Amino acid sequence: MLKQYEVLEKRFGLVRQVAQSRWGKGIGEHYSLKGENRGYPLSLYSHFRKVAGRKVEWTSLVFEALFVEDIELCIEFEGTEASARFGKKEGLSRVEVAWGADVWSNADLAKYLASENLLARISSFSKKGSCGAVQLSKGFIEYREVGVMESEEQRLRFQEGILLLANLCDAISLYMSERRG
């Protein structure tokens, strides 16, 4: 994991943060990366939750986009693992955006999601054999995968995830400016 974090640190100028565990230095420490991309604050970290008596781990990439107000969005790709899926949101409808991806959003936002750059990123994820899912809720856009980032393949997906979430933020920012205007 740390080797993959080092690559992301150098490539995107992110800063590693270490959270000490209650047992002391070196035992159960948690690592995260923080920084920004295109002016959007981002963080990358691993977390877990006990579900039905077993531990489920995820790695999450989160962009802060507080300007989105009440907008919600969910994207699942063809290769999205079941444990990486977010629950469907009430009031969102499935919109046709890109082949190989299920997108739930409001209809007004759908045309902004059809930009060439964003469609290319979504299509790229749709072709992956295994990947995570995306959710926008309460001003945070999250790309989540099952497990801890250990392989180069996972790191490459998270690198693409950074670019995907930045493009999503740009599209939603444009939508918000026209909605307010």
Contacts of residue 159, Cβ cutoff 8 Å, sequence gap at least 6: 8, 11, 12
28 Rama class: left (phi>0) / alpha (psi -120 to 50) / beta: left
Distance, CA of 103 to CA of 94 (rounded, Å): 6
Q: Which residue in 175, 64, 70 sits closest to 114, CA to CA?
A: 175
Span 152-165, pLDDT tens digits: 999 999 999 999 99
- Residue 140: phi and psi, rounded to 5, are -130, 130
Query: Residue 11: pLDDT above 80?
Result: yes
Q: Which residue in 139, 134, 140 sits closest to 118, CA to CA?
A: 134
Distance, CA of 46 to CA of 44 (rounded, Å): 7
Query: Residue 27: pLDDT above 60?
Result: no
What confidence category does residue 28 fall into, taking pLDDT thresholds of 50, 70 and 90?
Answer: low
CB contact at 8 A, 62 and 42: yes
What confidence category does residue 2 fall into, taking pLDDT thresholds of 50, 70 and 90?
Answer: confident
106: helix, coil or strand?
A: coil
Span 91-127, pLDDT tens digits: 888 888 777 899 999 888 888 988 888 989 998 888 8
